[in-house]
Amino acid sequence: MSGRLAIVGLGPGDERYLTPEADDALTVAEALYGYGPYLDRVPAREDQSRHPSDNREESARAKAALRHAAKGAEVALVSGGDPGVFAMAASVCEEIAAGPKAWRALDVEIVPGITAMHAVAARTGAPLGHDFCAISLSDNLKPWELVLKRLNAAAEGGFVVALYNPVSHARPWQLGDALARLARHLPAATPVIFGRAVGRGDESITITTLTEAPGVAADMATLVIVGSAETRLILREGRPPLVYTPRAVEKVSA
Ligand code: SAH
């Protein structure tokens, strides 16, 4: 009997962001795997086993979930946001590619979720209204030089950039370095958005400029969106500004 592994996106926090499809996948699961704080978002049930693991144990977690599914079980592996964005879906694919043949016979389903950059963008207007890209600032799995190369290319290409994993205890300086790199290419007044814990009780949104951005606090629960030279603000009386990137670009600047 072949089992099933659903890799389920929980969205950014609030349960209203959990899709009905994700809810169904969690309901039918016999076993739940995931990073502890994400699993805590799923209400406990006596007929479901729970297997929390630590933040950095993605590979071991993916393997454990695959082994369990290969025994014929209905397994759900949860991810914050979308499981395909810097998260568990790629980790599971890596393990299937390197693992026993039996894992290729498993029914694997990826259940999408709302990713952090969409949740943050929606809070502030339409910063991702024109071409954009996403870069993880974690250099645990890639060299920092590659991040800088991609930041150069993104800024030169005129992309709005969503920065995931901007800061952690082990990586305190990367965000400052990344902002300095983007500032080489972009106007000082380029809008920058810090969205922290979006969709949770302690959510906060800060809209600033590229010059001021290094002074804004960020942590592991923060997503940073750096605008392009086209990104602008609509100031409004008594309301936060709307940040947007117009859909049209008329000419290519040199
Ligand atoms: N799969 C997740 C991203 C995992 S990487 C997703 O699709 O959202 C972890 C990074 O995502 C964090 O460092 C932060 O940059 C961002 N992030 C995750 N949840 C967030 C939230 N609720 N608010 C703001 N940023 C968040």
| Cβ neighbours of 175 (radius 10 Å) | 22
DSSP E strands, the chain? 4-9, 31-35, 49-53, 74-79, 107-111, 125-126, 132-136, 160-164, 191-196, 204-209, 222-226, 232-236, 239-244
Give the residue, by CA position, lying nearest to ligand 1 atom 2. 81
What pLDDT was estimated at residue 250?
Answer: 83
Q: Give the pLDDT confidence of 162-202 residue by residue, as tens digits.
A: 999 999 999 999 999 999 999 999 999 999 999 999 999 99
Reported confidence tier of residue 90, pLDDT bands at 50, 70, 90: very high
Q: Which amino acid is at 84?
A: G
Residue 120: name the closest of 146, 81, 84, 156 by CA. 81
Gap from CA of 82 to ligand 1 centroid (Å): 9
Residue 1 CA to ligand 1 centre (angstroms): 36
Please compute the mean of the pLDDT values over residues 213-217 and round it to a whole number: 95
- Count other Cβ atoms within 10 Å, centred on residue 69: 27
What single-letter amino acid sits at 81?
Answer: G
CA of residue 119 to ligand 1 center, whole Å: 10
Predicted confidence at residue 14, as pLDDT, reads 86
Domain range annotation of the chain: 4-111, 116-244
pLDDT at 254: 60
pLDDT of residue 253 exceeding 70, the answer is no
Can you tell me the mean pLDDT for 145-159?
A: 97
Residue 223 near ligand 1, beta carbon < 6 Å: yes
The answer to whether 35 touches 74, Cβ cutoff 8 Å, is: no
- Fold of domain 4-111: Cobalt-precorrin-4 Transmethylase; domain 1 (3.40.1010)
Of the chain, the percentage scoring pLDDT greater than 90 comes to 94
Architecture of domain 116-244: 2-Layer Sandwich (3.30)
pLDDT score for 99:
96
Same fold yes or no, 4-111 and 116-244: no
